Amino acid sequence: MGRIATNFNKGKNMKKLICVLLAGVLAVAMFAGCSFSPASNVKIEGNGESVVSDGKFVYCIYCIGKANEPYSSQIRRLAVDNLGGESELVYDGIAYNLNLSEDGRIFFSTEDGISWIKPGDEYKIDLIKLEQFDRSVVLNGDWIYFRVNAEDGDYSMGIYRINVDSYSVETVLNAEVAGDFSNFRVVGDAIYYEVYSSKRFGLMKFDVLGGTKLLVTENEEYEHGTSGSYVTDKHIYISWSRPAVIKRFDLYGQNAEVIFAENEAQDSKCWVEFADAEFVYYSTEDGYYRIKADGTGQSEKIPPGHDGYWNSRVFVAGKLFVHSYKENDDRSEEEIYCIDRDGKNSFRLK
């Protein structure tokens, strides 16, 4: 009986030892996890635009040279907390549509494909070579989405995506599926793209993972067609012209609300530029405006605050960034302005 009790106690002691060892292993694992696998807190804003931000820096495309000369540009950056300071050169070469990844790479389109560079590196790395493609490329997760406009080597007309690490390419939508399509926007796991047929307009939603396609909305009410659309993470905004109308839909094209409407007798144009959670920014033939996203209140004009033509679909780092050109479109005269959301407190980036 005593031997049985002794063996039982030994078993209890062994269990205690195992528990202590397991606790130690777990503690080491937790410590290692805290030391070597910190959660990312990088917030990327503006991917696919000419101005983007990672929360620490704002990266901009500065155009160089005259309009009748070969295109040239630079990628420069400024600290978010010192946008009035001197910009720093990141890349001296042709660049369109900047995209930032959480690991610090800058992806952009060029005259002959898509490339990337890390700040401080001397040379860019080519991700893919293309000629007949839409330079409005956008990074979403580990994939860059791009549109081929015509036959281009192994690629026919369609929307594709390329993995930024493996360089593997996947077809997202071909022309037979998409039809006559143009501008696209990636929101989560869905692609929204515009389709045209004669004077009719439709906005399509394509689920990349599920492979399903949905007609979000179609122009049946307005004879003169649409001017544009913009998709946020919660709503779809579509503008029509002559008369000028802006409508808001949910992400399935339902629950339509009129945000802005002019008298039907008016023959004016209207373009949705972009939107955030509070305001819809749109342009007309006589300037730029904003109206509350729920349609309440009156539209207010956004003054450019300087001479020259300006346009923007960029809202990053709590500011609007505007590219300004002189009337002769001389790119040597281009300037980039930073302004508040209401168009006030404008200053030129250096």
- Domain CATH code at residue 270: 2.120.10.30
Q: What is the pLDDT of residues 252-265, one digit of tens each?
A: 888 888 998 887 65
Can you read off the two tokens belonging to residue 185? 């926007």
In this prediction, residue 22 carries a pLDDT of 34
From 263, 278, 301, give the residue that closes a domain: 301
pLDDT tens readout for residues 47-99: 888 899 999 999 998 877 655 565 678 899 999 999 989 999 999 888 989 99
How many folded domains does the chain comprise? 2
Tell me the backbone φ, ψ of residue 312, rounded to 5 degrees.
Answer: -160, 140
Q: Structure pTM?
A: 0.78
Q: What is the mean pLDDT of residues 269-278?
A: 85
* Residue 344 domain-assigned (yes or no): yes
Q: Are 127 and 162 in contact (CB under 8 A)?
A: yes
Q: What percentage of the chain carries pLDDT values higher than 70?
A: 69
Q: Other CB atoms closer than 10 Å to residue 134's CB: what's the count?
A: 17
Q: Average pLDDT for residues 208-217, to the nearest whole number?
A: 67
Residues 340 and 251 in one domain: no
C-alpha angle 140-160-186 in degrees, rounded to nearest 5: 35
- Mean pLDDT of all residues in the chain? 75
Q: Answer whether residue 209 shows pLDDT above 80.
A: no
The DSSP secondary structure of 188-234, one letter per residue, reads: TTEEEEEEEETTEEEEEEEETTT--EEEEEE--S-TT-EEEEEE-SS
Q: Name which of 9-13, 45-49, 174-178 the model is least confident about.
A: 9-13
CA atoms within 13 A on the CB side of 307: 5
Confidence of residue 202 (pLDDT cuts 50, 70, 90): confident
Collapse the DSSP code of 69 into the 3-class scheme (helix H, G, I; strand E, B; otherwise coil) and give the result: coil
Same domain assignment for residues 275 and 333 = no
**Does residue 146 sit within a domain?**
no
User: What is the rounded CA–CA span in Å between residue 93 and residue 152?
Assistant: 24
On whether both 255 and 317 belong to a single domain, the answer is no
Whether 36 is in a domain gets the answer no
Residue 117 in domain: no
Q: Is residue 350 part of a domain?
A: yes
Domain boundary among 301, 318, 339: 301
Domain boundary among 301, 321, 340: 301
pLDDT of residue 49: 86
Query: Same structural domain for residues 297 and 316?
Result: no
State whether 225 and 297 are in the same domain.
Answer: yes
How many angstroms from the chain centroid is the CA of residue 223? 31
User: What integer is the mean pLDDT of 104-116?
Assistant: 93
Q: Is residue 5 part of a domain?
A: no
Task: Answer whether residue 9 shows pLDDT above 50.
Answer: no
Domain membership of residue 266 as a residue range: 195-301
CA distance 274 to 288: 11
State the average pLDDT over residues 114-124: 89
Instruction: Please check the confidence at residue 315 and state whether its pLDDT lies above 70.
Output: yes
Residue range 294-309: mean pLDDT, rounded = 74
Residues 220 and 250 in one domain: yes
Mean pLDDT of 188-216: 72
DSSP state of 82: G
- Partner residues linked to 114 by β-bridges: 109, 128
Residue 233 lies in a domain: yes
Please check whether residues 252 and 327 belong to one and the same domain: no
Name the more confident of 185 and 177.
Answer: 185
Does residue 271 belong to any structural domain of this protein?
yes
Q: Clarify whether residues 288 and 333 are in a common domain.
A: no
